[in-house]
Amino acid sequence: MSIKPTDKPINFIRHQINDDLDSGLHHSIQTRFPPEPNGYLHIGHAKSICLNFGLAQDYHGSCNLRFDDTNPAKEDVEFVESIKADVKWLGFEWQGEIQYSSNYFPKFYAYALELINKNLAYVCFLTAEQTREYRGTLKQAGKDSPYRDTSIEENLTLLTKMKAGKFSEGECVLRAKIDMSSNFMCMRDPTLYRIRFDKHHQTGNEWRIYPMYDFAHCISDAIENVTHSLCTLEFQNNRHLYDWILDHLEDFNRPNRPHQYEFSRLNLEYTVMSKRQLQQLVADNLVSGWDDPRMPTISGLRRRGYTAASIRDFSDRIGISKVDSMTDMQILEDALRDNLNTIAPRTMGVIDPIRVIIENYPENSIEILQAPAHPQNEAMGKRELFFSRELFIDRADFQEVAPNKKFKRLAINKEVRLRNAYVINATTFDTDFDGNITTVYATYDATTLGKNPADGRKIKGVIHFVEATKALKAEFRLYDRLFTLENPGKNDHFEQLINPDSLVVTYGVVEPDMINSEPEKAYQFEREGYFCRDNKDIDKLVFNKTVSLRDTWNN
């Protein structure tokens, strides 16, 4: 028997589940995650995964993974495999074997025959354009198809011929006989089956007719004894068709059959969540692929350095409601920062390096220093730093003249502390032919390792560095919002709104122990942000910027 959790925030879905358990309608709950394998999952799907699998865990029920694979023209086994990997990466396990709607094709066909025999379905030969004309509008009722009164016997014969491939694609469809004057457009004799000659990734060329999503989805739920069928608000009106189909099939017309409940989909700022638009970005090479770290796909977020824990936390933070709204990107990034701050070891990387020569440091000498791997977690141990006469610092950390008293970086005759090392003072610098600074000359105070200057002078600035002789060259990919507008998906030419600075590539240096860095593992490059080593270009040191140390978008 399911156990009602007491430590979870109550939303309308949990209220419904509690009521159904209390009334005895259900003794345990069964949910499902039913993606269509026609693209990669995005963070909106992650919200649904966390909801369906999370409810099953909390109520000690079960959740299965089912591919609603009813459109072979758009589906591929590549998407099947990517979805399975995403669900597992998020930390969830499905109940039993993976299910496919295509497993039920014989049953769907039998239920279509049942509806015909009940005079509730008919084969229609109207063209797509004629069907739209006959359907009417929101203000005008539709009119009956001239094929609506075809006899039961003839409809049975016609469906058999459709199944045998005797008609061409688009020549006819099977429609439900419901109500052409219904206030719900989805109830105006919707299509149940259409003809497709594409090879299916699971059933090959066995079938020539394929059920529509609305017909297959509810029956699949019922076959699998799903208790609470959870979907997003755009399917709210389709619930009438969901119920109509199950009400008119003898196997499922029972009180404890599945019921559909709708919640608001995730709309995230500065990106698009439409699978069609995401497909366009990939097809038009506007991004490097489905796993481009700027994409809101789970694989893209993973490659960028997002963690499964942060995405689960984000799903908890935004909650479940029936109100469509735009979610602030900062909520997602805050969940990520909170997680990475606790797990990411510290290191130093210089993204735009210039050389520093410590003129009073001994030549050909390298000093080994100690620094914490994590300042708040001693259990993570220490890491070795190297210090010598030649170092790299970031170009942004030096100016010839400090612009104001608040400037806390290096300038001529202005001291700063090198992180976990000594205090240095800049004396002069070199430039190239274009006036760009190439080398800064400085001196160091040998008495300031791990302590303030003995004479009491105050050092206000701290900058990071990497020792030059052991530094490793690295590529840094600095990612930002993919689009310049908060809600680009509403624009007909959304692709023209791509942020030109959504990816900036620089070349710098990292500490030598980063040669052993692991792909996807989070590291905090001190003062720069959180990064992870890229999980595709693993033959070289490539680090993707996951998120800054603090929100800087509106600053």
In the annotation, is 265 catalytic? yes
Strand partners, 519: 533
**275 catalytic, yes or no?**
yes
Backbone angles phi, psi at 346, to 5 degrees: -90, 150
Catalytic residue among 175, 194, 239, 275: 275
DSSP tag of 45 = H
For the four alpha carbons of 90, 94, 100 and 101, in that order, the dihedral sign comes to negative
Q: What 3-state DSSP class applies to 392?
A: strand
CA distance 336 to 513: 25
How many beta carbons lie within 10 A of that of residue 385, not counting itself?
Answer: 23
Per annotation, catalytic residue among 107, 265, 408, 419: 265
Q: Half-sphere exposure of residue 142, counting CA atoms within 13 Å on the CB side? A: 27
Instruction: Select which of 36, 75, 269, 333 is catalytic.
Output: 36
Question: Which segments of 318-445 are extended strands (E)?
Answer: 326-327, 346-347, 349-350, 353-358, 366-372, 382-388, 390-394, 398-399, 410-411, 415-418, 423-431, 437-445
Q: What are phi and psi of 391, to 5 degrees?
A: -135, 165
- How far does CA 157 lie from the centroid of its chain? 46
Question: Which residue from 167, 171, 190 is spatially nearest to 121, judged by alpha carbons?
Answer: 190
Give the chain's end-to-end CA distance (angstroms, integer).
Answer: 52
| SS3 assignment, position 104 | helix
Q: Which residues contact 31 (CB under 8 A, 6 or more apart)?
A: 52, 53, 55, 56, 61, 62, 63, 226, 227, 228, 230
CB burial readout 274-305, b (16+ within 10 A) else e: ebeebeebbeeeebbebbbbbbbbbbbbbbbb
- Give kind and range of the element (H or E) at residue 212: none
3-state DSSP of 457-500: CCCCCEECCEECCCCEEEEEEEECCCECCCCHHHCCCHHHHECC
Place of tokens 């109550």: 10
Helix/strand/coil for 69: coil
Strand 259-263 with 366-372, pairing: unpaired
- Reply yes or no on whether 250 is catalytic: no
From the number of C-beta atoms within 10 Å of its C-beta (0-12, 13-18, 19+), residue 375 rates as: exposed
E strand intervals along 34-110: 62-67, 99-100
Which residues are 430's β-sheet partners? 439
Q: Kind and range of the H or E element at 278?
A: helix 275-283
Catalogue the active-site residues: 36, 265, 275
